[in-house]
Amino acid sequence: MSTGPLSEHAPARPPVTFARLGEQKARRQPIAMVTAYDYPGAQIADAAGVDIVLVGDSAAMTVLGYDSTVPISVDEMLMLTAAVRRGLRTPLLVADLPFGSYEVSDEQAIATAQRFVKEAGADAVKIERGGTSIERARAIIAAGIPVMGHVGLTPQTAATLGGYRAQGRTAEGALAVFHSARALQNAGCFALVFEAIPSAATEAMMPLLDIPVIGIGAGPATDGQVLVFHDLLGIYDGHAARFVKRYAQLREPMISAVAAYADDVRTRRYPAPEHEYSMPATETQLLIGLLPEPAHPRGAITGPSPSPAKA
Ligand code: KIV
């Protein structure tokens, strides 16, 4: 493994603050957010200069192999968030509270959010839905932890929404999304995620919201965009939603690289002399004299000889 301190040659940028996100919205300067789930992913997002890194519970699917975001545990999310924290210097770090870790009561929500701040170093947490999540958001914020809301398609409760599908495609549906968004804003959320909402509905709502709105499948009118790391890099093998834009197709070159390595191992092309450590010849001779005689000289066949029929 190559080692070295975090991007030591990158010019220092001032850390992103909650106030700066508001300023970016006011200046119509789009906010770039991306997910990350580990130390190298965080380093890449940091070096790329994004504004917000989200440790999304999409980790359940992209890195842990579950078939939805529902099963991921608080401990799994804490471990991933702490790894991302170690790789970040500049972007704001937001962590998703996983399904089942905040819905029961304000006390449960505060206790879980505090773990993400204290144990994993998150700057803020994200929770999904309107409804009871509005009170949970208010409680977490009152306890001193910034909250990002998430409306539209909320994958933790996709089953109640009729599956992974766009929300707010009727006037009534879009109004319900808006009421949730505004209630979360009034509860004190510093920002919102709009997921899978028709662009026209988003555009109609945007002038009525004062906090930054980050879209994913919500069109161009939002104050920023978020994409899942594995989707934008083309690493994940699963189904890609309509809104995903692939900026690279890294899965194939990654498979080719590992296959080339395995082939090199099998054909003894790796390691080559440049990968080896040397030792003075005199020391090698000394060592050979000090070692016991090998019981079986190198290359000798020690097992039963293969039967002619099987050979
Ligand atoms: O979990 C996640 O990655 C998310 C983003 C898609 C917003 O919630």
Q: Which domain holds residue 265?
A: 259-286
Q: Is residue 159 part of a domain?
A: yes
Residues 93 and 235 in one domain: yes
Atom of ligand 1 nearest to the CA of 58: 1
CA of 228 to the centre of ligand 1 (A): 7
Catalytic residue among 195, 274, 276, 283: 195
Whose Cα sits closest to atom 3 in ligand 1? 56
Residues 153 and 175 in one domain: yes
Q: Is residue 304 part of a domain?
A: no
Atom of ligand 1 nearest to the CA of 56: 1
Question: Counting Cβ atoms within 10 Å, is residue 276 exposed (0-12), middle (13-18) or buried (19+)?
Answer: exposed
Q: Tokens 């947490």 map to which residue? A: 125
CA of 180 to the centre of ligand 1 (A): 18
Q: pLDDT digits over 107-158, tens only?
A: 999 999 999 999 999 999 999 999 999 999 999 999 999 999 999 999 999 9
CB distance 165 to 99 below 8 Å:
no
Q: Is residue 174 part of a domain?
A: yes
Residues 138 and 64 in one domain: yes
Q: What percentage of the chain carries pLDDT values higher than 90?
A: 87
Separation of CA 27 from chain center: 28
Q: Is residue 6 part of a domain?
A: no
Give the total number of structural domains in the chain. 2
- Beta-strand runs (E) in the chain: 31-35, 52-55, 92-96, 124-126, 147-152, 191-195, 213-216, 224-227
pTM (predicted TM-score):
0.91
Residues 207 and 278 in one domain: no
Q: Confirm whether 195 is a catalytic residue.
A: yes
Atom of ligand 1 nearest to the CA of 126: 8
Whose Cα sits closest to atom 8 in ligand 1? 56
Mean pLDDT, the chain, as a whole number?
93
Separation of CA 134 from chain center: 24
CA of 154 to the centre of ligand 1 (A): 9
Q: pLDDT digits over 259-285, tens only?
A: 999 999 999 999 999 999 999 999 999
**Long-range CB contacts (< 8 A, 24+ apart) of 25-32?**
25/211, 25/212, 25/223, 30/223, 30/224, 30/225, 31/212, 31/214, 31/223, 31/224, 31/225, 32/224, 32/225
Residues 198 and 61 in one domain: yes
Beta bridge partners of 149: 192
Residues 278 and 190 in one domain: no
DSSP, collapsed to helix, strand or coil, labels residue 287 as helix
